[in-house]
Amino acid sequence: MKLIVGLGNPGERYKLTRHNLGFRVVDRLALRTDIRLSERSCESVLGRGMWEEQTIVLAQPQTFMNRSGTAVACLIAETACNTANLVVIYDDLDLPFGQIRIRSRGSAGGHRGMLSILECLGAAEFPRIRLGIGRPADGIDPADYVLENFGETELAAVDEIVEQGAESAICLVKDGIYRAMALYNRPRP
């Protein structure tokens, strides 16, 4: 079984912000796998189903980003999933806009949602898919930047980035993390 969690903030106010790329990728995965996000449990919206002969749970924590760990820890316990089968998808300021980076483990790298997850799970050995949003211009607070909608010049590429994020997650589930890393850990053209 795979538990795939996309990070974001709940509510219409945040729906199209940079910080909600994880939610958007999970929405795309739900469409691609025909899994409905219709359940509510562990402070999350989730869907369960079979895909490629594997049980998949897709989840979007409805806590705010910096409390994502409480929802993820609950989901791990409820689904009896081990952390090696957890995949977390989230935005990353430290990657150029549109770049994807898949890792099998690591630190929070300053991302408060990931920090919350690491603290609540007490483990860093789980796959993560980081989606680059780039750094803000000088003088713009990164905390404000992630809560803004994408700029006009970025909008045309967002759907492609969401699609690539979903494809990388599908590859990770089907072919394993090393294949996914080989295919998707490249600079965006």
Mark whether 19 is an active-site residue: yes
The tokens for 112 are 């408060």
Q: Which has the closest alpha carbon to 94: 56, 134, 149?
A: 134
Alpha-carbon Rg for the chain in angstroms:
15
Q: Which has the closest alpha carbon to 154: 8, 15, 17?
A: 17
Question: 2, 19, 24, 101: which one is catalytic?
Answer: 19
What is the bridge-based pairing of β-strands 86-92 and 2-6? parallel
Which residues belong to the active site? Answer: 19
